[in-house]
Amino acid sequence: MKNVGIQKACSEDWSKMTPTEKGAFCQKCVKHVHDFTNKSTDEIKRTLLKFKGQEVCGRMTIDQEIALNAEFDDLMRSNKTNFQHLFIMALMIVFGLTLFSCEDERDQQKIVATQAAITKIIEQKDIVEEITIPNVDNIFVREIDVESISFSQDSFVEVIDEVEIVGYPETHISHILGGIGSSPIYLEYLEPLTREVELDENGDPIPTEFKAFAFPNPAVESTTIEIQAPQKEHMDIQLYDTSGKRIKEIYSGKISKGTFRQLIDLTDLTSGIYLIIIQSKDFKETVRILKN
């Protein structure tokens, strides 16, 4: 069962949507579409929780959708035993407080019955439905004569005309786009995520690993470099062409832990491929951008 993921698939062309800071804007649906393809499962879950009760359109990879559901399924399986223990404690709270001060034999019988019920729950294991096979007194073996059948060598010769190729099977789709939905129990599972999350000055969760990417990409007049820094760093961000020539400095200075964004003006550059090189004491990353 899919508890979270793309529930309403969309056939709109992602490349024709207007790029935004968090994804793209669909002119046809007049909606913002979140791009989760560069996000971790924790980042996706926090976004879904942030927009709980609202319609959310998104773009993610099939592997991301599988990972979100697999993580939830594993948790549900591991909590199955814990649920039994919680149920036992609930029984003790409900019955135990009223029965420990028993005064007559009837109360004693209630205690015994409660203890038996609790013991049964503790010892209960997964039950596999048994299939009853009726007893058979006698088995008869009957011989059956099978006539020999022979075929001539030319029996299955068939002349086939030249095959015309009319198409090819669709290739594997790595990305999915559309309305994201989740089951009520999945939303309950997300609730505790907001209690232990450290946020940066922009209200975004503090990243757990270093990441860098640019959007929109390809770009026409400008692009934005986004850096997710798990710790405070001094960053040097430079723009180069593919020949290794340094074009200009984008940023140099301290970056607080969290999400850092810097707009890059591309209007004075010719069309082509450029490299944004990000470097600090602990991290180094190169982001490739295409200027149309």
Q: Where are the domains of the chain?
A: 4-65+175-194, 211-291
Mean pLDDT check: name the lowest of 15-19, 117-121, 229-233, 253-257.
117-121
- What is the value of pTM for the model shown? 0.44
Position 237 confidence tier, pLDDT thresholds 50, 70, 90: very high
Question: Higher pLDDT residue, 81 or 46?
Answer: 46
CA 42, CA 267: separation in Å to the nearest integer? 36
Position 127 confidence tier, pLDDT thresholds 50, 70, 90: very low
Mean pLDDT check: name the lowest of 170-179, 204-213, 263-272.
170-179
CATH architecture of 211-291: Sandwich (2.60)
- pLDDT, position 165: 56
184 backbone dihedrals φ, ψ, rounded to 5°: -55, -40
Position 178 confidence tier, pLDDT thresholds 50, 70, 90: confident
- pLDDT, position 128: 45
